[in-house]
Structure 1
Amino acid sequence: MPVLSPSRSERLAALRAEVRAIESAGAAGVRECLPFEVDAIDARLAGGGLATAALHEITGARPEPGDDAAATLFIAGIAARLEGPVLWALSRRDLFAPGLALAGLGPSRILYAECGRDEDVLAVMEEGLRHGGLGAVVGEVGRVAMASTRRLQLAAEEGGTTALMLKRWRRNGEDPLLVPSAAVTRWRIACVPSGALAVPGIGRPRWRLELARQRGGEPFQLVMEGPDHEGRLALPAEPSNRSDQTDRKRLAA
């Protein structure tokens, strides 16, 4: 019996994973979801929230530190509302733990894995997802092949664990979401000016959320306030939003 070379074996394994991912995606049916608990978002997401056993990609809208930090905190807020420890595979040492804690993700819940290459990050993510005992697995990467995202999607489904991929801008300036992906949702996060305060101080951060792609739904954009200490986003406290919320409360009563 001929012995397959390592490279050929890896290609065959990747192809098998792709086929299984496609088959499982078609048979998945109704997914369990994590709602944002904000009607403006949940009503536009297929299933009413983020599919929990799935891969989601997030990037800063521009190659700027502010947008990169906003994307990181968006991920932290999601992970904070999932039960269980969070495995975070790092590509570089620039995470600010107090900032993650302000978004609801305290240091006692995070397991850090320092990885030097994107390939190592992907391997750690896959192992963590297949473990099945984690609340979420976060990985920071640059460019990722379609086959790799399919493997992660399959691993997330098999382990019942949420995969959150922070796609970072590289020096060539290419949009991280231009490369095709098997992710169920793909997000761009951009900083926008905070609302004016009645007294001197720093207002709650505001972001423009762009859902660039979602499986089974349409893309959309919204301006939201960043996560509170429980990882929850909110609509900006503007008159139009307050009146909408008041109307809904009256109808519910």
Structure 2
Amino acid sequence: MPCPSALSSEPFPEVAAPLEEVCAPTPRDRAAALMFALSRRPETDGRPVLFAASRVWLGENGRPYGPGLAGAALILTPVSTAAEGLWVLEQALRSGAVSLALGAVDGASLAQTRRLEFAAKEGGSVGLMLPRAPEGLTAARRRWRIETALSAPDAEDPRAPGRTRLAAGMTRGRGERPGVWMMEQDDETHRLRLADRLAGFGPPSIAGTGAATGLAA
């Protein structure tokens, strides 16, 4: 986890690009990566969110808990192959019926991701890929590396976990400088926001990495 001095002083790109990519470096970071991915949905967009994932992925990581997504319905679409997942994402994005379409799909080519980017622009939606690891060149404007972080201190009980935190690192941005931002979950809006740069930092710990993740086994 980055120390405060390693955090970027550049403005955080609040508005998502038509197509972005989010990766989790370790299995324990996948819930944080999914939380970050869901936060890329425009706040005022009430259209549903679609999540396409293979049955193997769902078996390993659990199913997202739909009622935990504030402000929008969740459409969960299990798929059998990467090709099927890419087709589902493209059709959903092009339809304009969803605000955000997530795909836990590996091995997408540059040409396939370009189709997703064009479909997202056509439908006025946001497309987001969740591969297990960054692989090759894609049409995604931004590539994010998401790591879990120690939760924020609880102001009323130092023994209790506070707000969920994660470190969002942009490792590639088209026309943008890479950087790392510390994010935390807002208790009222249930969305991510920039955390205090000076408070609550420390070494990463599996036992202390978080609160609500939105995943249910």
Return the TM-score normalized by structure 1.
0.65
Match of 1:217 in 2: 176
CA distance in 2, matches of 1:80, 1:49: 7
Check the 8 A contact 1:103/1:229 in 2, yes or no.
Answer: no
Q: When you count strand as a share of all residues, which structure comes out higher?
A: 2
- C-alpha RMSD of matched pairs (Å): 2.6
Check the 8 A contact 2:46/2:71 in 1, yes or no.
Answer: no
Match of 1:75 in 2: 37
1:76 is displaced (CA, Å) by 1.9
Match of 1:153 in 2: 117
SS of residue matched to 2:93: helix
1:208 aligns with 2:167: yes
CA distance in 2, matches of 1:72, 1:237: 22
Alignment counterpart, residue 113 of structure 1, candidates 77, 81, 89: 77
Supply the AA of the counterpart residue of 2:31: A
SS of residue matched to 1:50: coil
1:95 aligns with 2:63: yes
CA distance in 2, matches of 1:104, 1:42: 28
The percentage of aligned residue pairs carrying the same residue is 30
Supply the AA of the counterpart residue of 2:46: E
Match of 2:193 in 1: 234
CA distance in 2, matches of 1:42, 1:104: 28
CA shift in 2, pair 1:80/1:95, >3 Å: farther
Q: How many residues align?
A: 185
SS of residue matched to 1:126: helix
1:105 is displaced (CA, Å) by 5.8
Check the 8 A contact 1:189/1:209 in 2, yes or no.
Answer: yes
CA distance in 2, matches of 1:206, 1:194: 5
Supply the AA of the counterpart residue of 1:117: T
1:69 is displaced (CA, Å) by 0.5
Supply the AA of the counterpart residue of 2:113: T
SS of residue matched to 2:116: helix
Q: When you count helix as a share of all residues, which structure comes out higher?
A: 1
CA shift in 2, pair 1:103/1:210, >3 Å: farther
Larger Rg: 1
Q: Structure 1: 5+ residue runs without aligned partners?
A: 1-39, 169-175, 242-253
1:179 aligns with 2:136: yes
CA distance in 2, matches of 1:57, 1:181: 9
Check the 8 A contact 1:136/1:161 in 2, yes or no.
Answer: yes
SS of residue matched to 2:177: coil
CA distance in 2, matches of 1:101, 1:77: 15
Deviations 1:119-176 (A, max 9, x none): 11101001111112221211111221111111111111122211111112xxxxxxx2
CA distance in 1, matches of 2:10, 2:54: 31
Supply the AA of the counterpart residue of 1:75: A
Q: Structure 2: 5+ residue runs without aligned partners?
A: 1-7, 201-217
CA distance in 2, matches of 1:55, 1:104: 22
